[in-house]
């Protein structure tokens, strides 16, 4: 019985709390609306009506401050009736309120996308094991600078890419396509790759091979293909990250190359299965859109569209994983 009484008491408290929260939100909204009308339409409102509405709005505020639910309800009802009777000409319709709220939300989303963060999906396996096909990531657009939305015009320079950064950029040969790779060379760096080993300014980049083979499934071509590779932990400017190299195919080497001013040299972490600066050249600084931050959603390919297959394809362990 004591347990039942405790449960009933908890439910009663919860109902009372919910009722108070609803009344508080309704009261604050009504007071804001009344004062907005008084301010914007003062030239159309008689002084006596304005004084009455103002006094009733103050009464709602006092009731809210005193946390008296019954009094809050009474003052809300009184103010609402007065506003409806005298100021209905200036009240917003429900449709208008929803439209304005949606418009504000859309505007905020567009501003965030233009200047703060943008979502991208990983379409290929060139960044495995760091990023997998089907990973959805957030990219910081203010890490290096701000651009005018829908253009390449820079309006502020906030920082420079560093070796080891994973960046999203416009593909140099087709600006309508976005690529994601890791920065391995900065302006003035001399780079080369010999026997699968990366050299920066004449020094080999430290790396350690993980003894066991690394297996993954490449689904970027639509048909899942099992791959067996060598896993290496590479340290670039003190930042450690994983790379893989296929055990069957030979490493994709390149001769000594100097990165020109205003450009970076990028490579995929899937070193032997990546189209990057070794193939199509350097990335202009102005083409960089931002730096990868986190994986916020991830799922692989599923054999069908059934709910079970969909749930099985979700990689729950990758949610909100930082990108390094």
- At 293-303, the pLDDT tens digits run 999 999 877 66
Residues serving a catalytic function are 126, 181
Residues 133 and 245 in one domain: yes
CA-nearest of 129, 147, 150, 167 to 282 is: 167
Domain membership flag for residue 99? no
Q: How far apart are CA 106 and CA 96, in angstroms?
A: 15
- Token pair 């401050």 is found at 65
Q: How far apart are CA 146 and CA 134, in angstroms?
A: 28
Instruction: Collapse the DSSP code of 308 into the 3-class scheme (helix H, G, I; strand E, B; otherwise coil) and give the result.
Output: helix
Which tokens in the block code for residue 102?
């949606």
pTM of the model: 0.67
Residues 138 and 230 in one domain: yes
Report whether pLDDT(102) > 90. Answer: no
| Percentage of residues in the chain having pLDDT higher than 70 | 84
Residues 72 and 120 in one domain: no
Q: How many CB atoms lie within 10 A of CB 176?
A: 6
Report whether pLDDT(200) > 80. Answer: yes
Range name among 204-208, 245-249, 253-257, 281-285 with the lowest pLDDT average: 245-249
Q: State mean pLDDT over 211-240.
A: 82
Residues 86 and 125 in one domain: no
State pLDDT tens for residues 277-314: 999 999 999 899 899 999 999 987 766 667 777 788 88
Residues 231 and 312 in one domain: yes
pLDDT interval class at 252 (50, 70, 90)? confident
pLDDT interval class at 1 (50, 70, 90)? very low
Give me the CATH number covering residue 82: 1.20.1270.10
Residues 129 and 64 in one domain: no
Residues 157 and 14 in one domain: no
**Contact assessment for residue 161 and residue 239, using Cβ atoms and an 8 Å cutoff:** no
Q: State mean pLDDT over 100-129.
A: 76
- Token pair 């390149």 is found at 254
Structurally, how many domains does the chain consist of?
2
**Contact assessment for residue 221 and residue 243, using Cβ atoms and an 8 Å cutoff:** no
β-bridge mates for residue 322, sequence order? 294
Describe the strand order of the beta sheet including 197-200 as a list of residue ranges. Answer: 203-204, 197-200, 190-194, 254-258
Residues 128 and 40 in one domain: no
Report whether pLDDT(138) > 60. Answer: yes
CA-nearest of 313, 324, 263, 320 to 294 is: 320
Residue 32 lies in domain: 2-91
Question: How many CA atoms are closer than 13 Å to the CA of 110, on its beta-carbon side?
Answer: 9
Q: In the predicted model, what is the mean pLDDT of the chain?
A: 85
Residues 137 and 243 in one domain: yes
Report whether pLDDT(188) > 90. Answer: yes
CA-nearest of 237, 256, 247 to 324 is: 237
Structure confidence at residue 251 (pLDDT):
56
Structure confidence at residue 97 (pLDDT):
61
CA-nearest of 217, 185, 197 to 282 is: 185
DSSP annotation string for 128-177: TTTS-TTEEEEEESSSSEEE-TTS--EEEE-----TT-EEEEE-TT-TTS
- Is the link from the previous residue into 129 a cis peptide, with omega within 30 of 0? yes
Residues 158 and 69 in one domain: no
Which tokens in the block code for residue 28?
């604050």
State pLDDT tens for residues 148-167: 666 666 777 778 999 999 99
Which residues have CB under 8 Å from 158's CB, separation 6+? Answer: 142, 143, 144, 145, 146
- N-to-C CA span, the chain: 56
The residue among 57, 91, 125 that closes a domain is 91
Residues 299 and 173 in one domain: yes
Report whether pLDDT(95) > 80. Answer: no
């Amino acid at each position: 019985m004591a347990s039942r009484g405790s449960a009933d008491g908890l439910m009663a408290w919860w109902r009372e709390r919910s009722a108070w929260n609803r009344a508080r939100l309704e009261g604050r909204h009504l007071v804001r609306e009344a004062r907005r009308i008084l301010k914007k339409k003062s030239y159309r409102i008689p002084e006596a009506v304005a004084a009455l509405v103002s006094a009733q709005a103050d009464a709602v505020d006092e009731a809210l401050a005193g946390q008296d639910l019954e009094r809050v309800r009474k003052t809300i009802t009184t103010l609402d009736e007065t506003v409806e009777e005298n100021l209905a000409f200036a009240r917003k319709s429900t449709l208008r309120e929803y439209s304005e709220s949606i418009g504000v939300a859309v505007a905020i989303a567009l501003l965030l996308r233009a200047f703060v963060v943008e979502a991208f999906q990983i379409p290929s396996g060139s960044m495995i094991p760091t990023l997998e096909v089907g990973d959805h990531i957030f990219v910081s657009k203010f890490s290096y600078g701000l651009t005018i939305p829908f253009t390449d015009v820079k309006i502020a320079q906030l920082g420079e890419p560093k070796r080891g950064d994973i960046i999203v950029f416009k593909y140099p040969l087709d600006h309508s396509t976005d690529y994601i790779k890791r920065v391995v060379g900065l302006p003035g760096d001399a780079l080369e790759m010999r026997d699968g080993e990366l050299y920066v300014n004449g020094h080999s980049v430290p790396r350690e091979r993980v003894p066991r083979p690394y297996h993954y499934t490449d689904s970027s071509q639509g048909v899942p293909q099992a791959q067996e590779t060598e896993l290496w932990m590479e340290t670039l400017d003190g930042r450690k990250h994983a790379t893989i190299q296929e055990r069957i195919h030979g490493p994709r080497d390149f001769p000594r190359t100097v990165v020109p001013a205003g450009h970076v040299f990028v490579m995929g972490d899937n070193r032997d299965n990546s189209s990057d600066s070794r193939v199509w050249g350097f990335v202009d600084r102005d083409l960089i859109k931002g730096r990868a931050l986190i994986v916020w959603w991830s799922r692989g390919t599923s054999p069908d569209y059934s709910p079970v297959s969909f749930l099985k394809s979700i990689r729950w362990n990758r949610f909100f994983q930082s990108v390094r």
